[in-house]
Amino acid sequence: MLNFRANFKTMFTILHDFTSCYIQSFITEMVQCVHTLQAISPPFPMNEETEYSHLLSLREQINYHNYRYNVLDDPIISDYEYDRLLAELRTLEAAHPAWITPDSPSQRVGGTPVEKFEKVRHPAPILSLGNAFSFDDLRAWVERIARVDERVLTTTFTVEPKLDGLSVVLHYQNGLFVQGATRGDGEIGEDITTNLRTIKALPLKIPVPSSSPSPAGGENAPSLVIRGEALFFLKDFEALNQRLAEAGEKTYQNPRNTAAGTLRQLDPALTASRPLTLLIYQIVSGEGDLPKTQLDTLATLRTLGFPTPPVYHCQTVDEIFPILEAWALKRETLDYEIDGMVIKINDHALFRDLGFVGKDPRGAIAYKFPAQEVTTTLHDIGVNVGRTGVLTPFAILDPVEIGGVIVKQATLHNFDYIAEKDIRIGDRVRLKRAGEVIPYVIGPVLAARSVELPQYVPPTHCPICGQPVENPPGEVAWYCVNAACPEQLVRNVEHFVSRGAMDIVGLGIKIVEQLIAEKLVNDVADLFLLTRDALLGLEGFADKKADNLLASIEASKAQPLGRLINALGIRGVGAVMANDLTRHYPTLDALAATTLEALQTIEGVGPNTALAIVDWFARPRNRELIAKLKAAGVWPVAETRVVGAQPLAGLVFVITGTLPTMSREEASTLIETHGGKVTGSVSKKTNYLLAGENAGSKLTKAQELNVPILDEGQLRDMLQ
């Protein structure tokens, strides 16, 4: 249990120290933040000392913005600015590998894949919880434990959501995150430190009480072991699935299993590509005096920079019930999955004295919400055609109520899933609905299959246009590859006008279908050729509606290039990547003229996406579409210094010394925006060394390896 090495005399001092040290460190960070935001690209040449303090300040800034984004959910800089800070830190660290420390925010990713996870013994048992399924069960629990200790009759309770993720145990030594483990059997878990480091909500460094000795760490360094739940926010889970679906890969069934699977990946790079988050609710053990109540525990954890779940304080059992009722409804709109609420005795001393029954502490209980799982009959399997032509099967069900909502359809993920689970038309199927996630079929109830049902055979032809479907090698998905498939056109236009894309207000799916059915729209560019007369000829259109629609179509021409690229619906190119592309290509023509190699030098663009982009622009139909958009005046130009194609595509640069007019960071950005790549050390793979004054060992190395050496002027010449 909690390590209550009671030393009441110093308890308040330490808690106070925790708090004030933390606040102080934030004030320092804020000041440094303002200070260094001005100093991102210092106009003066930096010597090692200033470089080092710049590096420290970059780390502070990154940690601070990370905290604002991931813990407070209140960022004050854009993702782009954040990435710039991180890129600058990485460049500095690449130039000075000796300065890299494990708590640097650059070190979240980078662990090498492991063969298996090592075992970790927890410092105290990681307990489970008993369950209650009704208010009566809860009353019975309180009566039961009041018989064990009558202080229960006058004590208070906390109520927190029961987070449906993976329980993790985190170790901090001397303020640094040193180890993280799964719960395992409660005594021994698995060491998943490298994977946990990739979670941005996990602080790699926390304030240490100022009274603590042993700044160098080691055996006597103050330690803190905490516990919480790793999970996906639903929006991130859905975005992950959408990304996978667009790339033709297998999608995941639910956030909980995906969180568990993601943290038990042997390759941390994979974990890093998945946006997991954390909520911390317990101090397992720690040095000195620890908070005496659950409320104080959560407050202290927050003060240390950890994200915590919401908590309520109830004076009596009766005060608990309305909270449970409210959360049973609120659960539907939460951004993470919960499967109940946890009620805890607030007073840690009483909690500890109450002891356990098996692995369940008497002092806490989980109130489980009614299951959101039901069974129903699968009438048929329908197939949707998405905008990229991907075929997605869905279940057509006997309508059934689940969590207060009538469900008639549910996703079946993909054809492999149907085969793996052996789901057959006519089966009784188990259905799950969780939070905002689309209901999905868990699998058939085999015991209820009384007659032999035929296995499901996926379609060989598109259910809409009747053309044969294809399964590209290495992909799970099947595609209708007929570019003229009307369903694809509906989905394409629907995506084109959607909020994250061209945001054409008033153009809902019904109107899109109408426009396509009436042959007024044969591709997205036709939207810009619609006339008032044509619209007035449609059912349901009067003057005002037609004028409003035309006005919002016209207004959409002012959308920035990133939106337009996203709107085109190229496989693998979502809003973020579309924006990234605009930093390298100022117009659609520039993007159309690019090469596979140039695209792959851009951070985040993998070979598949690069291929999808080049392939998209190579198709004559799409070339015509671009020309049509241009002629219609839909031609945003991005603000970028890149003119035309990428003259440095495929070239690797190293920068050294002090350049006459640019900081190294500016030079690096200049090279990258023109398609080149910048690395930290000279090797045979380096194409050019960009050298300024006082160049040191990198210059010697380049001379040894016969790497051509450029000055700033020559670099500029190459960009012409």
Min dist. Cβ of residue 281 to ligand IVH (A): 4
Pairing of β 688-691 and β 709-710: parallel
One residue of 184, 309, 657, 680 binding ligand IVH per CB under 6 A: 309
Give the separation between CA 117 and CA 182, rounded to whole angstroms: 10
Query: Which residue number, 122 or 162, has a Cβ lying nearer to ligand IVH?
Result: 162
One residue of 107, 128, 600, 622 binding ligand IVH per CB under 6 A: 128
Query: Interaction with ligand IVH in 315-344: which residues (CB under 6 A)?
Result: 342
Query: Which residue number, 361 or 439, has a Cβ lying nearer to ligand IVH?
Result: 361
Q: How many other β-carbons are positioned within 10 Å of the β-carbon of residue 409? A: 14
Look at phi and psi of residue 569 and say left if phi exceeds 0, alpha if psi is from -120 to 50, else beta.
left
Give the separation between CA 239 and CA 402, rounded to whole angstroms: 24
The amino acid that residue 511 corresponds to is I
281 is a site residue for ligand IVH (CB under 6 A):
yes
One residue of 248, 255, 361, 569 binding ligand IVH per CB under 6 A: 361
Provide the token pair at 133: 């399924």
The amino acid that residue 47 corresponds to is N
Query: Which residue number, 126 or 625, has a Cβ lying nearer to ligand IVH?
Result: 126
The amino acid that residue 545 corresponds to is K
Lay out the site mask for ligand IVH across 231-260 (x = CB under 6 A, - = otherwise). ------------------------------
Which segment (360-368, 394-402, 463-471, 582-590) binds ligand IVH by CB under 6 A? 360-368
Give the separation between CA 583 and CA 167, rounded to whole angstroms: 40
One residue of 14, 58, 62, 127 binding ligand IVH per CB under 6 A: 127
Q: CA torsion, points 645, 648, 650, 656, in degrees to nearest 10?
A: -160
Give the separation between CA 434 and CA 254, rounded to whole angstroms: 8
DSSP 162: E
Q: Are 371 and 349 in contact (CB under 8 A)?
A: no
685 is catalytic: no
Q: Are 429 and 442 in contact (CB under 8 A)?
A: yes
Query: Interaction with ligand IVH in 365-394: which residues (CB under 6 A)?
Result: 366
Give the separation between CA 398 and CA 424, rounded to whole angstroms: 14
Min dist. Cβ of residue 364 to ligand IVH (A): 5
Min dist. Cβ of residue 373 to ligand IVH (A): 17
Query: Interaction with ligand IVH in 414-443: which residues (CB under 6 A)?
Result: none
**Cα–Cα nearest to 562, from 576, 550, 578:** 578
Give the separation between CA 62 and CA 89, rounded to whole angstroms: 9
Min dist. Cβ of residue 126 to ligand IVH (A): 7
Query: Which residue number, 290 or 464, has a Cβ lying nearer to ligand IVH?
Result: 290
Q: Are 448 and 424 in contact (CB under 8 A)?
A: no
One residue of 55, 226, 263, 364 binding ligand IVH per CB under 6 A: 364
Query: Which residue number, 172 or 281, has a Cβ lying nearer to ligand IVH?
Result: 281
Which segment (106-114, 127-135, 202-210, 324-332) binds ligand IVH by CB under 6 A? 127-135
SS3 of residue 240 by DSSP: helix
Min dist. Cβ of residue 497 to ligand IVH (A): 41
Which segment (23-31, 96-104, 122-130, 293-301) binds ligand IVH by CB under 6 A? 122-130
b/e for 112-137, b at 16 or more Cβ within 10 A? eeeeebeebebeeebbbbbebeeeee
Query: Interaction with ligand IVH in 34-53: which residues (CB under 6 A)?
Result: none
Q: Are 158 and 311 in contact (CB under 8 A)?
A: yes
Nearest 5°: phi and psi at 357?
A: -120, 110
Give the separation between CA 208 and CA 222, rounded to whole angstroms: 8
Min dist. Cβ of residue 122 to ligand IVH (A): 12
**Cα–Cα nearest to 376, from 421, 450, 446, 427:** 427
Min dist. Cβ of residue 527 to ligand IVH (A): 48
Give the separation between CA 532 and CA 529, rounded to whole angstroms: 10
Can you name the residues that pair with 282 across neighbouring β-strands? 227
Number of residues that bind ligand IVH (CB under 6 A): 15
Min dist. Cβ of residue 146 to ligand IVH (A): 19
Options 119, 162, 359, 432, the catalytic residue = 162
Query: Which residue number, 157 or 415, has a Cβ lying nearer to ligand IVH?
Result: 157
Min dist. Cβ of residue 162 to ligand IVH (A): 4
Which segment (146-154, 246-254, 361-369, 478-486) binds ligand IVH by CB under 6 A? 361-369
Query: Which residue number, 86 or 224, has a Cβ lying nearer to ligand IVH?
Result: 224
Min dist. Cβ of residue 186 to ligand IVH (A): 8
Query: Which residue number, 189 or 207, has a Cβ lying nearer to ligand IVH?
Result: 189
Q: Are 460 and 369 in contact (CB under 8 A)?
A: no
Provide the token pair at 718: 């190459």
**Cα–Cα nearest to 30, from 57, 50, 3:** 57
Lay out the site mask for ligand IVH across 197-236 (x = CB under 6 A, - = otherwise). --------------------------------x-------
The C-alpha angle 326, 330, 336, rounded to 5 degrees, equals 140
Q: Are 673 and 640 in contact (CB under 8 A)?
A: yes
**Cα–Cα nearest to 599, from 623, 619, 572:** 572
Give the separation between CA 125 and CA 465, rounded to whole angstroms: 60
Query: Which residue number, 249 or 335, has a Cβ lying nearer to ligand IVH?
Result: 335
One residue of 129, 142, 263, 464 binding ligand IVH per CB under 6 A: 129
Q: Are 1 and 124 in contact (CB under 8 A)?
A: yes
Query: Interaction with ligand IVH in 153-182: which residues (CB under 6 A)?
Result: 160, 162-163, 167
The amino acid that residue 350 corresponds to is L
Query: Which residue number, 88 or 229, has a Cβ lying nearer to ligand IVH?
Result: 229
Instruction: Work out whether the CA dihedral 180, 184, 187, 188 comes out positive or negative.
Output: negative
Residue nearest to ligand IVH (CB): 167
Q: Are 286 and 292 in contact (CB under 8 A)?
A: no
Min dist. Cβ of residue 686 to ligand IVH (A): 49
Query: Which residue number, 309 or 680, has a Cβ lying nearer to ligand IVH?
Result: 309
Query: Which residue number, 368 or 449, has a Cβ lying nearer to ligand IVH?
Result: 368
End-to-end CA distance of the chain: 68
Min dist. Cβ of residue 545 to ligand IVH (A): 50
Residue with tokens 């359809």: 409
Q: Catalytic site residues?
A: 162
**Residues of the shown chain interacting with ligand IVH in the complex, contacts defined by CB under 6 A:** 127-129, 160, 162-163, 167, 229, 281-282, 309, 342, 361, 364, 366
